[in-house]
Amino acid sequence: MRCTWVLVIVALMWLGASLAQADVRSDATAWPYPVNQLIDSTYDDYDPQIHNGQVAWEGYGGGWDLEIFFWDGTFDGEGNPTGIAPLTNNSYDDYDPQIHNGQVAWHGKEGGSDYEVFYYDGTSTTQLTNNAYTDWYPQIHNGQVTWYGYDGNDFQIFFWDGTFDGEGNPTGTTPLTANSYADYYPEIHNGQITWYGEEGGNDAEIFYYNGTSTTQLTTNSYYDADPQIHNGQITWWGYDGSDYEIFYWDGSTIYQVTDNTWDDRSPQIWNSQITWCSRVNDGDWKIMEAHIPEPTTIALFGLGLLGLGAKLRRRRQS
């Protein structure tokens, strides 16, 4: 009888596992670890961002407008997530939080007419902008924030270096651009910033701020957009006259990473390694990767070429 019950239990466990995997795609394996629901409410929550196990998102916190929420990554003794708190509780919408090292930046429709940029330092929230124009889509890294905002004529790029005065008011906000065309979507890493601007009014070009001065990386008649930066190296996608290709700047030289007859878009970069999506042969979109080999690998490759050349010379002489 005991063996029968053991068999029944095993069969039920197998059935449960099978049912749990019934909707798993053929090209994937079922996730074997717990999944935690961070918030349980009757309202919608959107667009989570994560860094170092901490999460920020926007959600309807019981009212008619969107608020910003933050989870500090902690759990209680039973493994349930704790440490969830609203960073905002106001009468206007707050959008698109970005998080790095427990610090969060977002934009909110303060006053109901234009958007302003806000910053949470892990303890309290500071409003970084306060004007009659729209400032939005901030990006944050190491407590420094960049965004683009309207100046009365077009959009410009702004940078806050993370400093405060003696009374706790944010200082060190600098416009990185002051021109007659629109600049969009800056990205920041270690105080260095990249963005694209509609220089000339006909197409977009890539710009780079190194912490001191700004350089225009591209000057052409094609559209270059959506740059990403890491350790002073930048990647973006741009038009080549027939389709969109991936480009990479290593700090001195611009390389065209792809050269094909289909579109390549949305690159991301980390330590000289790039990934992007590519519509290979104008079919399905595929994920691609490219990286600069380690110096040792390059040296070995070079030695291999030298050896091959020597071998070919010996063959000719014989």
- What CATH number is associated with residue 218? 2.140.10.30
Radius of gyration of the chain (CA): 26
Residue 9's pLDDT band, with cuts at 50, 70 and 90, is very low
Tokens for 182?
């629109």
Q: Let me know if residue 152 belongs to a domain.
A: yes
Query: Can you give the residue range of the structural domain that contains 172?
Result: 34-317
> For residue 312, what pLDDT is reported?
55
What are the CB-based long-range contacts (under 8 Å, 24+) for 116-123?
117/145, 117/147, 117/149, 118/68, 118/88, 118/94, 119/145, 119/160, 119/170, 120/68, 120/70, 120/87
> For residue 95, what pLDDT is reported?
97
> For residue 63, what pLDDT is reported?
75
- The reported pTM is 0.85
Of the listed ranges 12-16, 110-114, 205-209, 253-257, the least confidently predicted one is: 12-16
Residue 41's pLDDT band, with cuts at 50, 70 and 90, is confident
Average pLDDT over residues 40-50: 92
Average pLDDT over residues 16-31: 72
**63 Cβ contact list (under 8 Å, min separation 6):** 91
Q: 231 vs 3, which has greater pLDDT?
A: 231
CA angle at 151 for the pair 145 and 154, rounded to the nearest 5°: 105
Per-residue pLDDT reduced to its tens digit, 213-238: 999 999 999 999 999 999 999 999 99
Average pLDDT over residues 185-194: 98
> For residue 314, what pLDDT is reported?
59
Q: Let me know if residue 11 belongs to a domain.
A: no
Strand partners, 287: 277
Residue 317's pLDDT band, with cuts at 50, 70 and 90, is low
Please provide the average confidence, as pLDDT, over all residues in the chain. Answer: 88
> For residue 306, what pLDDT is reported?
58
Q: 81 vs 11, which has greater pLDDT?
A: 81
> For residue 12, what pLDDT is reported?
46
Per-residue pLDDT reduced to its tens digit, 95-127: 999 999 999 999 999 877 899 999 999 999 999
> For residue 27, what pLDDT is reported?
86
The alpha carbon of 232 is separated from its chain's Cα centroid by a whole number of angstroms, namely: 15
State the amino acid at position 282 in one-letter form.
Answer: D
Q: Let me know if residue 5 belongs to a domain.
A: no
> For residue 202, what pLDDT is reported?
77
> For residue 5, what pLDDT is reported?
52
> For residue 164, what pLDDT is reported?
96
Q: Let me know if residue 25 belongs to a domain.
A: no
Q: Alpha helices, DSSP H only, in 153-230?
A: none
Q: Let me know if residue 277 belongs to a domain.
A: yes
Q: Let me know if residue 148 belongs to a domain.
A: yes
Q: 125 vs 27, which has greater pLDDT?
A: 125
Per-residue pLDDT reduced to its tens digit, 272-305: 999 999 999 989 999 999 998 876 544 544 555 5
Q: Let me know if residue 194 belongs to a domain.
A: yes
- CA atoms of 222 and 244, how far apart (whole Å): 10
Q: Let me know if residue 279 belongs to a domain.
A: yes
Domain count, the chain: 1
